[in-house]
A and B are shown apart, each in its own frame.
Chain A
Amino acid sequence: MNKDISLVVNGEARYINVPADKTLLDMIREDLNLKGTKKGCDAGDCGACTVLLDAEPVNSCLVLAVEAANKEVTTIEGLAKGGELHPIQAAFIKHGAVQCGFCTPGMVLAAKAILDKNPNPSVEEIKEGIAGNFCRCTGYKKIVDAVLASGRNIQG
């Protein structure tokens, strides 16, 4: 059974006809053709598919597409504005926090959710906020450094 939904994706209104059992992740990747959101497990374990749903980070593989109706979705493609990287993205680059890059979009969005609520989080708060996002390349050290630094950046 399909449903018509409307939602806002990266600031743009979208109207989509989706099967009721389709996940938000599959809708983002297949229907919206936004490939930056990654599928690492399809079971809510790894966090690679993290997007913001009304500013809250969610594993988009655990959310049905129809649950996003009338909500605002932010994916990694929605972060850089007018050719300018978001400060978190810039900090990930500066601090060497990116290796294979497969966890990066989810990690950046999880970090954004932390910083949107608290522009100056402690290391412990950062760790809590990205605890659901697995990385197998970096040992997380440079990721935490990047989030910490971008917190300071955003603050000014």
Chain B
Amino acid sequence: MNYQTVGHGLVKIDVMEKVTGTAPYVDDLVMPGMLIGKVLRSPYPHAAIKRIKIEKAQALNGVKAVITNQDTPRVKWNSAGFPPSQGAILVEDQYILTDRARFVGDGVAAVAAVDEKTAQLALDLIEIEYEKLPHVLGQDKAMEPEAPIIHEGVEKNIVGHLPIVIGDVEQGFKEADFIFIDKYTCQRVNQVSIEPCGAVVALYDANGRLNLWTSTQMPHLVRRIVARAMDMPVGKVRLIKPHVGGGFGSRLGAVNEPIAAMLSKATGKPVKLIYSREESFVGSESRHPIIMELKTGVKKDGTFTARQMTAYIDAGAYATHTPSFAGPVGGWFLAMYKSPNVKYDGYSIYTNTPPCGAFRGYGNPQVVWAVESQVDEIAERLGLDPREIRLRNHPCKGEVWAWSGWEIESCGLEEAIERGSQSIGWENRIRQGSNTKENSNQGQETVHKVGPETKKKGIGMAYMMHVSGARPMLHETGSAFIKMNEDGSVNVVYSSSDCGQGSSTALSQIAAEELGLPINMVHITQFADTDTAPFDIGSHASRQIYSGGNAVKVAAGIVKKQVLEHAATMLEVSASDLAIENGQIICLQDETKTKSVAEVAYNALYGTNGFEISGVASLEPPGNPPVYAAQFVEVEVDTETGIVKVIKVAAAHDVGTAINPVCVEGQIEGAVQQGLGYALTEEMVFDEMGRLQNPNLTDYKILTVKDMPEIDSIVVQAASQTGPFGAKSVGESGLVPTAAAVGNAIYDALGIRIKDLPITPEKVLGLLKAKS
């Protein structure tokens, strides 16, 4: 299809502000009388607070409030950003400030003072008597019978068990020619948005309303969570979202809004609470470490007879997302490959570490790491090209996708694999013969590639599927309100949760296309305000374009109908004979009969029986079409140092119609940076006392520009049937298969398979040594 606006790499709507430094983020806001908030955190992984003395802190000049657990509302709450839904299992197990520290960094008190220095001094004056309690780290250890209990009444610290059974796996294993049993693990990683997570200004105003300016991905749901934590009606909370300096899941729920709200309520002043980089590591939620036990039965021809996974998920010290998160983890697993028999058990386990929550991909990177590594092994054992086993077994268009239970609308995996293969030079890999059945047992002899003797090259691939929304796990109500101004331009009022990915731009393109307006006549709200923007569940599950786009398109359709009907009255023709092109009303029968949209809008507003042309759509999206990707990675491994150098990533993604191809590429390229960090360099490291050893960007290694390989982002467009103009999604998927593809490339280079992320030089050298 040829579109006027959709499919064009238009300049994003917010970039002028951003390149000139005028775009306001939360920390840039200044208000009269504004105080600075600070949080006191537990130095112990598990400790009861016996006594807490705040008098000295209160007495310090410039201190306006000191609050502890005793001041918090007597309600327990859950910080995760879920709409109440069948798939939302919300265990309420925390107070705004705790009376029992459950991890190093747990918030135990907070202060508001006239400036940051005074606030910091006040924290030092709070005296706390702790009773240290035994603690436990690691989800496997936390399940042992003798492990200390972190929350009363939660046996073995298992806060959730989610089973899924399809068919009979035992029967399936009996029918298998081969059975593969493996254990894969992965580390905890942090989203590391460059604007540290945890940025809010709270004002509990004289009218008793709580106003929040916060860096969030989900304005309406965070408003709801804060209302619950503060034990106040939702309507009394107003949330405004300025620009957000990166989200990636870290702002998928309440972060520190309730603490700031309490401090403002206590002082009657606006309170700014900005987490430092260190606090954003421990005071917000990171990616779940998961121990994944896989058992897979296959026939000689590469079809699956049974697939089983048991996942032990480290929740950290509070439940937040985790018991619900166990659902998608199972969903990703069971939906990847067709098998008549599938069994999944997901255990959510408390440990004395910071809570885990949402991070781009929401469990899929972990699952794909395990499954795609094992499938690589299976392909080798069966003598199949790794691409072939994926193409034979993935669910395709017309089949039911087990994640949602709905029919798949479109599938671009075959094209993705073909174009990705070409880009990476897969045929050369096969010619070099490291992966065919005939030579798979020849060991290191087969993996010598071009280059110096100590450096080995290899190529690997992995595939993934992902969502375009959250249905049917979650209710996914989204809304848009569009009104037309007298100059013919429109305001798209949307609960924007654009965190930089470009969704506001793409949604503007959808509105412009539907309305027949040039893009510069579409003005979308950039700062969501829950008092004025209609309800939407936010920026997650890669849902902005499919779900938000459907709401915007429907609302635009209503506006368009009104424009045409009013133009028809003005021109004395039938509305069905009219169309809008580039802001102009065109009569298909009589080209002399024309008006600009501006004339029509003006006449509607100021003519007889005046009205504003406007439309609102509030709906759940019609489906959830999955996206596909195949990523191909070439590595060079130094066998003397164990250092893995990634030479190239060819990332081929089926996103449906790309509303804005430049934004789509940007999403893929940025995600690959995070995926490579996940594979190779990023890890939150705790000592035996549960203290995070690297809460800074010197010791926590995200990739710099010098670490980045060549990235070829390949956009495949298998249009969906129900998405706006055929769109599906792109946001999260770019990092989902990366780690597995890297691991498979390392296997291709060296014949060693590392089963725990990240793949550090130490692990590479260890396995190389063991092999020789």
Question: Using Cβ atoms and an 8 Å threshold, which residues of chain A touch B15?
Answer: 92-93, 98, 101
State how many angstroms separate the Cβ of B368 from the closest Cβ of chain A: 19
Taken together as a complex, chains A and B put the C-alpha atoms of A151 and B665 apart, in Å, by: 23
**Per-position binary interface string of chain B over residues 632-667, scored 1 when its CB falls under 8 Å from any chain A CB and 0 otherwise:** 000000000000000000000000000000110110
Query: Are the CB atoms of B705 and A130 closer together than 8 Å?
Result: yes
Given A96-B662, A136-B670 in contact, is the A41-B697 Cβ separation under 8 Å?
A: yes
Tell me if A94 is interfacial: C-beta within 8 Å of chain B.
yes
Q: Give the residue of B12, B16, B25, B704 whose beta carbon is less than 8 angstroms from that of A96.
A: B12
Question: Using Cβ atoms and an 8 Å threshold, which residues of chain B touch A45?
Answer: 277, 696-698
Query: Are the CB atoms of A101 and B277 closer together than 8 Å?
Result: no
Query: Are the CB atoms of B20 and A100 closer together than 8 Å?
Result: no
- List residues of A (119-143) whose CB comes within 8 Å of B's CBs: 127-128, 130-143
Question: Using Cβ atoms and an 8 Å threshold, which residues of chain A touch B668?
Answer: 139
Query: Are the CB atoms of B711 and A108 closer together than 8 Å?
Result: no
Question: Using Cβ atoms and an 8 Å threshold, which residues of chain A touch B404?
Answer: none
| Chain A, Cβ-Cβ closest to B248 | A136
Given A43-B277, A80-B20 in contact, is the A102-B12 Cβ separation under 8 Å?
A: no
Tell me if A103 is interfacial: C-beta within 8 Å of chain B.
yes
State how many angstroms separate the Cβ of B277 from the closest Cβ of chain A: 4
Most chain A CB within a 10 A radius of its CB, from B22, B500, B671: B500
Tell me if B722 is interfacial: C-beta within 8 Å of chain A.
no
Given A101-B500, A139-B669 in contact, is the A79-B20 Cβ separation under 8 Å?
A: yes
Question: Using Cβ atoms and an 8 Å threshold, which residues of chain B touch A3?
Answer: none
Given A38-B25, A100-B246 in contact, is the A46-B20 Cβ separation under 8 Å?
A: no
Query: Are the CB atoms of A96 and B14 closer together than 8 Å?
Result: no
Taken together as a complex, chains A and B put the C-alpha atoms of A93 and B502 apart, in Å, by: 13
Query: Are the CB atoms of A139 and B194 closer together than 8 Å?
Result: no
Question: Using Cβ atoms and an 8 Å threshold, which residues of chain A touch B663?
Answer: 96
**Per-position binary interface string of chain B over residues 161-201, scored 1 when its CB falls under 8 Å from any chain A CB and 0 otherwise:** 00000000000000000000000000000011111100000
Given A42-B277, A46-B697 in contact, is the A127-B706 Cβ separation under 8 Å?
A: yes
**Per-position binary interface string of chain A over residues 31-44, scored 1 when its CB falls under 8 Å from any chain B CB and 0 otherwise:** 00011111111110
**Per-position binary interface string of chain B over residues 542-553, scored 1 when its CB falls under 8 Å from any chain A CB and 0 otherwise:** 000000000000
State how many angstroms separate the Cβ of B252 from the closest Cβ of chain A: 15
**Per-position binary interface string of chain B over residues 254-280, scored 1 when its CB falls under 8 Å from any chain A CB and 0 otherwise:** 000000000000000000000011000
Taken together as a complex, chains A and B put the C-alpha atoms of A37 and B25 apart, in Å, by: 11
| Chain B, Cβ-Cβ closest to A146 | B19
**Per-position binary interface string of chain A over residues 87-118, scored 1 when its CB falls under 8 Å from any chain B CB and 0 otherwise:** 00100111010111111110010000000000
Taken together as a complex, chains A and B put the C-alpha atoms of A130 and B698 apart, in Å, by: 16
Query: Are the CB atoms of A37 and B193 closer together than 8 Å?
Result: no
- List residues of B (493-510) whose CB comes within 8 Å of A's CBs: 499-502
Tell me if A144 is interfacial: C-beta within 8 Å of chain B.
yes
Taken together as a complex, chains A and B put the C-alpha atoms of A39 and B21 apart, in Å, by: 13
Taken together as a complex, chains A and B put the C-alpha atoms of A94 and B669 apart, in Å, by: 17
Tell me if B377 is interfacial: C-beta within 8 Å of chain A.
no
Given A85-B19, A142-B669 in contact, is the A35-B244 Cβ separation under 8 Å?
A: no
Taken together as a complex, chains A and B put the C-alpha atoms of A104 and B23 apart, in Å, by: 11
Query: Are the CB atoms of A127 and B500 closer together than 8 Å?
Result: no
Query: Are the CB atoms of B14 and A139 closer together than 8 Å?
Result: no
| Chain B, Cβ-Cβ closest to A44 | B698
Q: Give the residue of B21, B665, B670, B706 whose beta carbon is less than 8 angstroms from that of A105.
A: B21
Taken together as a complex, chains A and B put the C-alpha atoms of A93 and B19 apart, in Å, by: 8
Question: Using Cβ atoms and an 8 Å threshold, which residues of chain A touch B698?
Answer: 43, 45
Question: Using Cβ atoms and an 8 Å threshold, which residues of chain B touch A101?
Answer: 14-15, 17-19, 23, 243, 245, 500
| Chain A, Cβ-Cβ closest to B243 | A101
State how many angstroms separate the Cβ of B289 from the closest Cβ of chain A: 21
Tell me if A48 is interfacial: C-beta within 8 Å of chain B.
yes
Tell me if A75 is interfacial: C-beta within 8 Å of chain B.
yes
Tell me if B9 is interfacial: C-beta within 8 Å of chain A.
yes
Question: Using Cβ atoms and an 8 Å threshold, which residues of chain B touch A48?
Answer: 194
Question: Using Cβ atoms and an 8 Å threshold, which residues of chain B touch A38?
Answer: 25, 27, 194-195, 245
Q: How large is the interface on B (under 10, 10 to 19, 20 to 34, 35 or more residues)?
A: 35 or more
Q: Give the residue of A100, A140, A142 whose beta carbon is less than 8 angstroms from that of B245.
A: A100
| Chain A, Cβ-Cβ closest to B14 | A101
Question: Using Cβ atoms and an 8 Å threshold, which residues of chain A touch B245?
Answer: 38, 100-102
Query: Are the CB atoms of B702 and A77 closer together than 8 Å?
Result: no
State how many angstroms separate the Cβ of A89 from the closest Cβ of chain B: 4
Query: Are the CB atoms of B705 and A40 closer together than 8 Å?
Result: no
Q: Give the residue of B11, B14, B670 whose beta carbon is less than 8 angstroms from that of A138.
A: B670
Tell me if B364 is interfacial: C-beta within 8 Å of chain A.
no
Question: Using Cβ atoms and an 8 Å threshold, which residues of chain A touch B669?
Answer: 138-142
Given A40-B195, A96-B9, A96-B663 in contact, is the A141-B248 Cβ separation under 8 Å?
A: no
| Chain B, Cβ-Cβ closest to A78 | B21
State how many angstroms separate the Cβ of B378 from the closest Cβ of chain A: 31
Question: Using Cβ atoms and an 8 Å threshold, which residues of chain B touch A135?
Answer: 194, 670, 673, 705
Question: Using Cβ atoms and an 8 Å threshold, which residues of chain A touch B193?
Answer: 100, 102, 136
Tell me if B233 is interfacial: C-beta within 8 Å of chain A.
no
Given A45-B698, A101-B243 in contact, is the A76-B20 Cβ separation under 8 Å?
A: yes
Taken together as a complex, chains A and B put the C-alpha atoms of A64 and B246 apart, in Å, by: 28
Question: Using Cβ atoms and an 8 Å threshold, which residues of chain B touch A108?
Answer: 19
Query: Are the CB atoms of A89 and B20 closer together than 8 Å?
Result: yes
Question: Using Cβ atoms and an 8 Å threshold, which residues of chain B touch A100?
Answer: 193-195, 243-247, 499-500
Query: Are the CB atoms of B662 and A134 closer together than 8 Å?
Result: no
| Chain A, Cβ-Cβ closest to B704 | A131
- List residues of B (685-710) whose CB comes within 8 Å of A's CBs: 696-698, 702, 704-706, 708
State how many angstroms separate the Cβ of A128 from the closest Cβ of chain B: 7
Query: Are the CB atoms of A134 and B704 closer together than 8 Å?
Result: yes
State how many angstroms separate the Cβ of B386 from the closest Cβ of chain A: 25
| Chain B, Cβ-Cβ closest to A101 | B18
Query: Are the CB atoms of A43 and B25 closer together than 8 Å?
Result: no
| Chain B, Cβ-Cβ closest to A100 | B500
Question: Using Cβ atoms and an 8 Å threshold, which residues of chain B touch A136?
Answer: 191-194, 246, 248, 670, 673-674, 702
What are 27 A-B contacts with C-beta separation under 8 Å? A42-B277, A43-B277, A43-B696, A43-B698, A45-B698, A46-B194, A46-B697, A76-B19, A76-B20, A76-B21, A77-B20, A77-B21, A80-B20, A93-B11, A96-B9, A96-B665, A98-B18, A98-B500, A100-B243, A101-B14, A102-B500, A104-B21, A127-B705, A132-B704, A138-B669, A139-B672, A140-B673
User: 8 extra interchain contacts, Cβ-Cβ under 8 A, other than A96-B12, A98-B12?
Assistant: A38-B194, A42-B277, A99-B246, A100-B245, A131-B704, A136-B193, A137-B666, A137-B670
* A residues adjacent to B (C-beta < 8 A): 29, 34-43, 45-46, 48, 75-77, 79-80, 85, 89, 92-94, 96, 98-105, 108, 127-128, 130-144
Q: Which 10 A-B pairs have CB atoms at the shortest separation, nearest pair first?
A: A36-B21, A100-B500, A101-B18, A102-B245, A76-B21, A139-B669, A45-B697, A35-B28, A99-B500, A89-B19
